[in-house]
Chain A
Amino acid sequence: MTTNDTSPAAVVLSQLSKSYGAVRAVRSIDLTIVPGETVALLGPNGAGKSTTIDMVLGLTRPDCGSVSLFGMSPAEAAATGVVGGMLQTGSLVEHLSVRELVTMVASLYPRPLEVAEALSLSGCSELANRRTKKLSGGQAQRVRFAIALVANPDLLLLDEPTAGLDVEARRDFWASMRAVAARGKTVIFATHYLEEADAFADRIVLLARGSVVADGAPGEIKARVGARTIRATLPGAALTTLRALEGVIAADRRGDAVILTCSDAEAALRALLDRFPSVPDLEVRGAGLEEAFFALTGDETDANDDELQEVR
């Protein structure tokens, strides 16, 4: 029963849709996010992540459907400072130091963080006196993060926040994010890295071709898209034999090579090596997101659906 729950959801998207010409970027997304949740929007390029975030922030007008943030429209949420964002594109304005820029942004919000705190959380303390024009790509990314943090919003949206960061900077970034999430903020971030989504989100919303194809706890999603593939040169092996191996879901041939999609790569590997004494060019790898989505979304019917939609 939720009847006595009077606090509105942090985010309610209902039948949210957006097309750019013939491209249906977002197709009727329904999503409810409760306050305090950290949600990853996971998907390959072109899945509709940025378009969805832009619509949540009120930067892009949906063709149909609605966005509600704590019961408000995106414009009201922006005007009252309850929402903040780190956008994917854009650079920083010139002629200001990092501290000045962050101070300026802080002044726009009703309940900002201390500038020094935002700089330190985002790892920008040592950049504070540097002019924005003299920053490297990764440093500028951290300053964008500082700008999003200093707003101290209840809902924080981050569009591929770690793009352009090296491994160490990524780790620092997520450590800071944990600190923000620990304050009970609602965080939504877009990523195309399953590991990032798995490590930092309470919940993963999987987007493909503008639709939600899966929505659940990271472990659950990981099991569904984290399939591994085994590739080997086995010209003589029958695909039916390979498909029958333990842990193998599917087998395909590409020239002399076979590609096995596995639910349990370890078992499949053991079975494969038992069955075939010589397995040259053996390679095991995690299926890319694109491949995983391909398997998840039921490619053929969807492709037909696309054509039908375009004819209409």
Chain B
Amino acid sequence: MHPVYFRYELLRSFRNWRFIVFSLAYPVVLYFVVTGPQRHAHFDGVAFPLYFMAGMAAVGTMIAVISSGARIAADRSVGWTRQLRITPLTPGDYLGAKVVCGFLMALLAIALVSLSGTALGVRLSAGEWLTMIGLMVVGLVPIAVLGVLLGHVVTPDSLAPAVGGTIMLLALLGGAYGFLVATSGAVFDLIKALPSYWLVQAGKTALGGSGWPAEGWIVIAAWTAVLAPLAVLAYQRDTARV
């Protein structure tokens, strides 16, 4: 990783107010609005403030890592990646800066949503917090890869709907908004095959400090295994030096 380049990449992210509003402010505001009146409810066997906290953290972090990767599309469209290709910056440094930036923003989103949860009565032990945050970071890996892939395949005019639609679909089906479209049968099996479902479940499985069941790890690993080669391919096609 190139330190100075990374610092400016981070600066660019933090000055992008749309990015800040959607990945940081939106989940926090939604959390207070929805959880406030339902502080004592339970959902899916978990206290609602904790469940919805995990859900909102999932939404914020997904927005952070997907938009960060997808902003590659903007760099490509203005010719910036072409300019970078004639500098000594390696494609790995470029990509690394984008991904690490996305994860930093995601950690910030987790921190803000967690503070909001604490304000509304969520109490977890240190081990449970660590389990939740750790699982979320792992669960974000395939989603960050998806962002990088989107950044190489979408055009700037289809970027907003592609990114927005992908996040919406993953969040909604994964149960991030506090409900699941199905809790049994084939549709539920399909939902359990989504990385976003396990991202949301990170909050639930953290109770007692235990991790995901094997199924969760398999789903995350499988998505990563499928998406990573595609992203690498898209990225090599785009950055091949002569």
Residues on A lying within 8 angstroms of B by beta carbon are 55, 57-62, 67, 73-75, 78-81, 83-85, 87, 89-96, 100-101, 103-105, 107-110, 147, 151
Contact = CB atoms under 8 A, between A and B. Distances in A.
19 contacts: A59-B242, A61-B240, A73-B242, A74-B241, A75-B242, A85-B83, A87-B83, A91-B79, A93-B12, A94-B16, A95-B12, A96-B8, A101-B8, A103-B4, A104-B4, A104-B8, A107-B5, A108-B5, A151-B87
B86 A59 contact: yes
B242 A100 contact: no
A80 B83 CA distance: 15
A208 B2 CA distance: 42
B12 A94 contact: yes
Interface residues of B, number: 24
Contact of A90 (B12, B79, B89): B79
Interface of B: 2, 4-5, 8, 11-12, 15-16, 75, 78-80, 82-90, 240-242
A279 to B, nearest CB: 51
A58 B241 contact: yes
Contacts of A55: 242
B87 A91 contact: no
Given A80-B88, A103-B4, A108-B87, 15 more contacts: A58-B85, A59-B242, A78-B86, A78-B241, A79-B90, A81-B88, A83-B86, A87-B79, A87-B83, A93-B75, A96-B11, A100-B11, A104-B4, A105-B87, A110-B88
B78 A90 contact: yes
Contacts of A84: 86-87
A105 B85 CA distance: 12
Contact of A61 (B5, B16, B242): B242
A14 B85 CA distance: 23
Q: Which 3 A-B pairs have the closest CB atoms?
A: A90-B79, A107-B4, A75-B241
A27 to B, nearest CB: 19
A85 B8 contact: no
A67 B88 CA distance: 18
Contacts of B87: 78, 81, 84, 105, 108-109, 151
Contacts of A94: 12, 16
Contacts of A110: 88
B5 A60 contact: no
A81 to B, nearest CB: 5
Contacts of B8: 96, 100-101, 103-104
A59 B88 contact: no
